[in-house]
Structure 1
Amino acid sequence: MAMRYALKTSIEAGFECFEIETDNMKLYSSLRKKVCEATPFEKIITDILWLANLCTYVSFSFVKRGGNRVAHSLAKLSSSFSEARVWLEDIPAGVNEFVIADLAGLNLY
């Protein structure tokens, strides 16, 4: 659901090219194969693929959870908000060190 929401919100903001990472192997495999078993999960996959088709470029990749501290920090931070938040220009406090490390290719563990 988070990937679907992020993709939809980003498209609405005018973005057209995406490199999307996930630490969920089932989600990644379904997106890569462009198919999913007949389950409620299938509707989410179908929506993500439909949104991806609206874009100029979309790449899906699998990254182990420990490989993306930025996403983990944002997910943890988001649990403290009652409504959706989108950061386009600012980096929330507590996440910026992971953004800088990610850009520099460092591993902060």
Structure 2
Amino acid sequence: MDAAMFDDGSMRLGMVGRDSNGSVVVVSCKRDVRIRSMEEAEAKVVVVGLEVALRMGIEKVHIETDSLIVVNELNGRTPRRNYLGVLIDDIIHVLSSFVSSCCSHVKRGGNTVAHLCARLCTRRGNEVVYVTDFPQAILSLA
């Protein structure tokens, strides 16, 4: 899961879901102009990705993000009382719907597929979800 910020102030959120064999099973992107910081965007993409996983009936999730702030907050290390904290609470609430979940930090270089997915989303406010016929650019990196 990753987010990208653009010159017009918009954020684009990208998520790539894989099965236990590492094969791509879902790709999702969403454009959002209401997010004010990268930390908020990184948390928001986790919320969006988890909601997609729930709609697909996925029961077990392993969140990978290049945001150490989000990972630390989800693991209870740095509580905040701001909008980022609200998003973290949203993530924790959605995670309770899964049979099992975990969250880990990946280096930015390990998150290139999700970052590309975020950059592919072009329409404001629209969410695009692929469960078949994935964009070739995504498949070539995956």
Shorter-normalised TM-score: what interval? 0.7 to 0.9
Aligned-pair identity in percent equals: 27
- Give 2:84's aligned amino acid: F
Matches of 2:87 and 2:54, distance apart in 1:
17
Q: Counterpart of 2:106?
A: 63
Q: Counterpart of 1:52?
A: 95
Q: Counterpart of 1:22?
A: 65
* TM-score normalised by length of structure 1: 0.82
Tell me which protein shows more strand as a share of its residues.
2
Q: Which moved more, 1:44-53 or 1:7-16?
A: 7-16
Shift of 1:13: 2.0
Q: Which has the greater radius of gyration?
A: 1
Shift of 1:89: 2.5
- Specify every segment of 5 or more residues in structure 1 that has no aligned partner in the other structure, as ranges: 100-109
- Provide the aligned C-alpha RMSD in A: 1.5
Q: Counterpart of 1:106?
A: none
Q: Which moved more, 1:4-13 or 1:46-55?
A: 4-13
Does the alignment pair 1:4 with 2:47?
yes
Q: Counterpart of 2:74?
A: 31
Matches of 2:77 and 2:95, distance apart in 1:
11
Shift of 1:35: 5.9
Shift of 1:45: 0.3
- Give 1:29's aligned amino acid: N
- Give 1:81's aligned amino acid: R
- Give 1:90's aligned amino acid: D
- Specify every segment of 5 or more residues in structure 2 that has no aligned partner in the other structure, as ranges: 1-43
